Amino acid sequence: MLRVIAAHPSRELRELAAELAALPVPETIEEEHASWNRICAALDAAPDATWEEVDADGVPCVWTSAGPSDACTILYCHGGAFAIGSPWHNRDMMSRIARAAGGRVLGVDYRLAPEHPFPAALDDTVAACRWLLESGVDPATVVLAGDSCGANLVLGAALRARDTGLPLPAAIAAISPWVDLTQAGWSYETNAARDPFVTKDSMDYLAASYLAGASAEDPAASQLFADLAGLPPVLVQVGAGEALLAESVSLVERLGRAGGFATLEIWPHGVHVWPMWAARVPEAQAAIERLAAFAVSAVAGAATASRVP
């Protein structure tokens, strides 16, 4: 299912896009760290959210809650090209997702490349999923979500669960997913002048750092090369001007051909992972609310299905 979110860009989104376009493109991991830290310094956490650090069977994680209900549990993997970031960088977005979904969010602080190359981050994500289930959380109430490489990790974790007999979540939500580490998508060229974040050269460099000699076509590293049959419903949100647009379209097409149900939302003016800026951009909050509604609906549908004899 394709949904184009038609709307004129807000003044706040236009200003954000201009600010991001003016930033220098990082050329090394160290420059990526410095750039990301400057960006995230302006993203304050929601004041009414609660935070709790937990050890998920050796994987550090952060619980985020912004309300009294835990009927919906969202396991969230942050972006950062497998090399930068942490749940603390996404704490405002995670708290807003928790509030909108009326549930709680578990942010996974997975190991980062190049010190911990593929498949370390995926192994940590799977371990956190297993810990969540072993702690007594009903898989029918769980939604996996992530942005950019974090979307790659939750899709990879769901495929690992399918192949190893772990219970699958109720749904998966992917924001600006990076699921083709070959960088073969047509939008790297067509959106080169529109995407202030992502370039083919930078993603080639970051992919090589993460893969450390592994094949970019390994299905566990690039889900576009995986057998996608048997996954729960998937929501993909992407900006029309993103370099990653092509692989988002391909992901949804391949999920459909594999017999799954997938929804693609194309936001005409969304920048890469624009929901991070919900504190200042109305389109970001709107995307979070749509993601939360998808998660709540999926959990309700899973609960209904479990009661059918």
Tokens encoding 104: 């709680």
Tell me the CA distances in angstroms from 164 to 8, 74, 193, 226, one per residue in order: 45, 21, 42, 15
Closest among 229, 278, 273 to 254, alpha carbons compared = 229
Tell me the CA distances in angstroms from 231 to 72, 152, 226, 235, 238, one per residue in order: 19, 14, 11, 12, 20
Q: Is the dihedral of CA 114, 120, 126, 131 positive or negative?
A: negative
Contact predicate 172/235, CB 8 Å: yes
Closest among 202, 196, 221 to 210, alpha carbons compared = 221
- Compute the CA torsion angle 208, 79, 70, 280 (nearest 10 deg): -170
The residue annotated as part of the active site, out of 242, 247, 265, 283, is: 242
Distance CA 10, CA 14 (A): 6
Distance CA 265, CA 293 (A): 13
Fill in the DSSP letter of residue 67. Answer: S
Q: How far is CA 145 from the centre of its chain?
A: 5
Mark whether 148 is an active-site residue: yes
The residue annotated as part of the active site, out of 65, 86, 95, 148, is: 148
Beta strands 262-267 and 234-239 are parallel
Mark whether 12 is an active-site residue: no
Enumerate the active-site residues: 148, 242, 272
